[in-house]
Amino acid sequence: MPATRSSSSQPRSHPFTASSPHTYISLSSSDGDSPRAPLKPMRQNRPQPALRPKKAVFIPPPEEVIEISSDDEEYNRPVTSQATMVADFRRQINKLREESVKHKRDFDRASKQLKELKEENQVLQALRKPNNGQILLVPFFSLQDVEELSEQLDCEICSSRMWTPYMYAKFLTEHPENVPQPLHRTATLNELTTAITQNPQLVLHQGVVDMIIQLLPPGPKYTCPACREPVRSRPTEAFSLKALVRTIAAAAGESSPKKSTLPGRKATGVASSPWDGFFPSRAT
């Protein structure tokens, strides 16, 4: 006879209700195991509606966008600390200082170039347009060179312009190429004495007499204030240096002073010399 299961299992306390639209399946064992969680109801396949075409999204232009915000958002913004603002201002100030120094250097460089261009323009204009035959030193020399050259034309003692320069006769003996040949042959007193002894007729020449007077030492002893050399004869006027001084002075815009004469008195034929008090002039 086949074995049969005992009917010791208890009846279900919650029978399935007929009104439930879903079907539940519960499995349990007779050994008293804990019941498992009920399975989720299965979804029924419903027909999906047809997809509608999406409409294009309208994007308004930026000028038509109006931003609406409340005052609470402004208060909620992070506040910049004072130290950060001070540091930012210092960086900006340092940057402005650097730019100012750079602009100043550029300005100095541009000013220097402008000055050089002006000088070059003056040179070109002077070379293109001569000034009525006058000598212009500025196109060929700088202003500093003209000033240094002018200083060389001043007297070492009184610092006045040598409008009428004089030269001591010793220069003629030290540079025989500047001395006429007859005067050079009798440059010393011994040679002149020997020449007169051999040719007594030389005494009749006024030039020989003048040389004898010049070679004889004067009563008082005179010395040059610059080189302290003894001066025994009247200095002679240096006409070449005189012309050079007057030419350079005229180019620099200076004019030579003119000798003034007393009113009602005519100028004499013999001009006075500053050496008349030291070496009296001889009548011819």
Angle, CA 103 vertex, CA 119 and CA 91 arms, to 5° = 170
Q: What is the 3-state secondary structure (H, E, C) of 47-107?
A: CCCCCCCCCCCCCCCHHHCCCCCCHHHHHHCCCCCHHHHHHHHHHHHHHHHHHHHHHHHHH
**pLDDT string in tens for the chain (284-residue length):** 455 555 555 555 555 555 555 555 555 555 555 555 555 656 666 666 666 766 666 676 666 666 666 655 555 555 568 888 889 999 999 999 999 999 999 999 999 999 999 988 888 777 665 555 555 555 555 556 666 777 777 887 788 888 888 877 654 444 444 444 444 433 467 777 787 788 888 777 777 777 777 777 656 777 888 788 777 777 888 888 888 888 877 777 777 777 655 555 555 555 677 777 777 665 54
Amino acid at 116: E
Using DSSP's 3-state secondary structure scheme, residue 195 falls into helix
Q: Is the pTM of this model over 0.85?
A: no
pLDDT at 69 (0 to 100): 62
Contact present, 192 and 208 (Cβ < 8 Å) = yes
